[in-house]
Amino acid sequence: MATGTRRERERAQREEMIVRTARELAEAEGWDAVTTRRLAAEIEYSQPVLYSHFTGKAAIMTAVATQGFEELAQLLRTARSAARDAGGVRAALAAVARAYTDFAQERPALYDAMFTHAVELRFADPEGPDVLRAGFGELLQAVEPLAGGDDPGVLTETFWAGLHGLATLERSGRLPGSLHDRRLELLVGRFAPADG
Amino acid sequence: MATGTRRERERAQREEMIVRTARELAEAEGWDAVTTRRLAAEIEYSQPVLYSHFTGKAAIMTAVATQGFEELAQLLRTARSAARDAGGVRAALAAVARAYTDFAQERPALYDAMFTHAVELRFADPEGPDVLRAGFGELLQAVEPLAGGDDPGVLTETFWAGLHGLATLERSGRLPGSLHDRRLELLVGRFAPADG
DNA sequence: ACAGGATTCCTAGCGGTGCTAGCATGTGAG
DNA sequence: CTCACATGCTAGCACCGCTAGGAATCCTGT
């Protein structure tokens, strides 16, 4: 029994190493470089070991994406609370918007795993994992004071779409990144008309 | 010489068939189903024939994407001119926004080729193909009257990002499609505040 | 009309992918 | 100490994008 817990612990550590290695590899060389063979070599085990932890490569990417959602939510919370103390509702919205696009730009592989791959995560489902809704909740709290007569949830979704569009179009080179700040300012301005 | 032109014509027809087949296959079963073997079988030639027309699969996807840009530009032009005659600048913006997201929803494979794959097309380059700027030009003309003191180009980019974000997040299931109309209305409302 | 050269197109294969069957090896219980 | 079980390996499957090399076909110059 005592040895049983040790093996469980070692197994959990190995699983954590798989996810961490996949993430590091993706952030360093992109998801195309994350192959099951390469990943197995990095953790110094054979390929089939991966499949004793995850159902497949997609599940590994989902695990990485889940980490991303946790970190993004944390970043948004920090940004919003800091700006709320310093400025008004507009500053809070600008702060979360900035934090969001910074996250997307600085961790592109993580953002890809969260929002362009790994569709198996259920988003709109109220029964879905909390981690998926935490980040949205931060956006919601920043948008809500500015909703006026509009539905805060739907308005937040729309604002989020704006951020996501900026992040993806700039990342892929469809929009030149040099004007990012101005676009962000315009987007925030359209959702938070006046004050500070 | 006469036979030479015939062979050129036949070759052009075959190239067109490759692009058309790739597009049909992608629209029917997604881009994952478009393999070079499958594509070669559909056009009843061997695999290497594809490489005598295109440098690789990515080039074929780029050709499909180019068709998509032409069609999207045409749709936006039609929508804008129709709405401009009937309503005001707000109606024109709403019309192009509707046309854009309809296109993305009805031709997801085409939209993917244009905006999530095929990065070899140069977007921000002023020397780039006209077809890439035609669609943006339609958006620009719809946004421009509403710019106020803001830069119309940057504002259009921001509005485009909103449309792109809605299209991609709804398509991947990150946002439930049932609320699409309300989101679109909110987005348009934030860029075209009042009048009709 | 016909030989020769260029062009066209196919078969076969390379190195890679995600994934899995089947067999050793090592572990813990009776 | 034996034996069943769990663990992790080797080897391989079917598929991917892509290409080398040879056969067949077509056009041209004499």
Q: pLDDT of A62-109, one tens digit each? A: 999 999 999 999 999 999 998 877 788 999 999 999 999 999 999 999
Picking from B162, B164, B182, the nearest residue to A154 by CB comes out as B182
Say what the ipTM of the complex is.
0.92
Q: Flag whether residue B147 sits within 8 Å of chain A, measured between CB atoms.
A: no
What is the CA B55 to C1' D25 distance in angstroms? Answer: 25
One domain, residues B80 and B124? yes
Residue A186 lies in a domain: yes
Instruction: Judge residue A49's burial from the number of C-beta atoms within 10 Å of its C-beta, 0-12 exposed, 13-18 middle, 19 or more buried.
Output: middle
CB neighbours (10 Å) of residue A1?
Answer: 4
| Residue A52 predicted with pLDDT over 80 | yes
Nearest nucleotide to A1, CA against C1' atoms: C28
Per-residue pLDDT band at A155 (split at 50, 70, 90): very high
> Is A117's Cβ below 8 Å from some Cβ in B?
no
Instruction: Name every residue whose Cβ is closer than 8 Å to that of residue B51 and which is 6 or more positions away in sequence.
Output: none
Task: At A165, list the tokens.
Answer: 């569009």
Alpha carbon separation from B60 to A96, B57, B136, B176 (Å, rounded): 40, 5, 23, 32
Considering the domain boundaries, does residue A32 fall inside one?
yes
Q: Are A165 and B169 a contacting pair, CB within 8 Å?
A: no
Considering the domain architecture, whether residues B41 and B97 belong to the same structural domain is answered as no
Encoded tokens for A26: 């993706």
**Same domain for B35 and B98?**
no
Q: Which domain holds residue B46?
A: 1-53
- Euclidean distance between CA atoms B87 and B107, whole angstroms: 27
**Cβ contact B77:B136 at 8 Å:** no
A174 — pLDDT class (breaks 50, 70, 90): very high
Domain end marker among B31, B53, B75 = B53
**CA-to-C1' span, B38 to D14 (A):** 14
> Is B172 in the same domain as B99?
yes
Say yes or no: B124 and B163 in one domain. Answer: yes
Same domain flag for A120 and A180: yes
The domain boundary residue, chosen from A53, A72, A94: A53
Joined together, the tokens standing for residue A91 give 């500053």
- Per-residue pLDDT of chain B (196 residues), as tens digits, is 445 577 778 899 999 999 999 999 999 999 999 999 999 999 999 999 999 999 999 999 999 999 999 999 999 999 998 887 778 899 999 999 999 999 999 999 999 999 999 777 777 666 567 888 899 999 999 999 999 999 999 999 999 999 999 999 999 999 999 999 999 999 999 999 865 4
Q: In this structure, are residues A26 and A113 in contact, taking their beta carbons and an 8 Å threshold?
A: yes
- On whether both A42 and A68 belong to a single domain, the answer is no
Residue A196 lies in a domain: no
| Structure confidence at residue B193 (pLDDT) | 81
* Interface contact flag, B158 A166, Cβ < 8 Å: yes
The residue of chain A with its CA nearest to that of B174 is A123
Q: Could you say which of A124, A161, A179 has the minimum Cβ distance to residue B173? A: A124
Tell me, what's the pLDDT at A1? 44
Whether B103 and B19 map to the same domain: the answer is no
- Phi then psi for residue A192, to 5 deg, are -135, 85
Q: For chain A, say whether B173 makes contact (Cβ under 8 Å).
A: yes
Instruction: Report which residue is nearest nucleotide C21 when distances run from CA to C1'.
Output: A48
> Gap from B15 CA to D27 C1', in Å?
23
Same domain flag for A11 and A94: no
* Type of residue numbered A134: A
Q: Å between B183 CA and C21 C1'?
A: 51
Give the end of a domain, one of B10, B34, B53.
B53
* Strand C nucleotides, any atom under 7 Å to a protein CB: 8-13, 16-22, 27-29
- Domain assignment of residue B196, yes or no: no
Q: Which helix (H) or strand (E) holds B97?
A: helix B89-106
Residue from A189, A174, A170 nearest B146 by CA: A189
Q: What are phi and psi of A194, to 5 degrees?
A: -115, -125
Give the pLDDT confidence score for residue B85 in this predicted structure.
76
CATH number of the domain where residue A3 is located = 1.10.10
A151, A157, A185, A187: best mutation site toward chain B, by most B Cβ within 10 Å? A157
> Is A99 inside any structural domain?
yes
Task: Evaluate whether residue A154 is within a structural domain.
Answer: yes
Task: Output the pLDDT for position A9.
Answer: 85
B92 and B40, same structural domain?
Answer: no
Q: Which nucleotides of D are covered by protein (CB under 7 A)?
A: 7-12, 15-21, 26-28
Residues A85 and A22 in one domain: no
- Domain presence at residue B78: yes
Co-location of B152 and B109 in the same domain:
yes
Judged by C1' against the alpha carbon of B54, the nearest nucleotide is D18
Asked if A152 contacts A143 with a C-beta cutoff of 8 angstroms, the reply is yes
* pLDDT exceeds 90 at position A50: yes
The total number of structural domains in chain B stands at: 2
Flag whether A107 is in a domain.
Answer: yes
Q: What pLDDT shows up at residue A6?
A: 76
Q: How confident is the model at residue A196 (pLDDT cuts 50, 70, 90)?
A: very low
What pLDDT, on a 0 to 100 scale, did the predictor assign at position B120?
Answer: 75
CATH code at position B134: 1.10.357.10
For A89, the token pair is 């509702």
Dist. CA A66–CA A113, nearest whole Å: 9
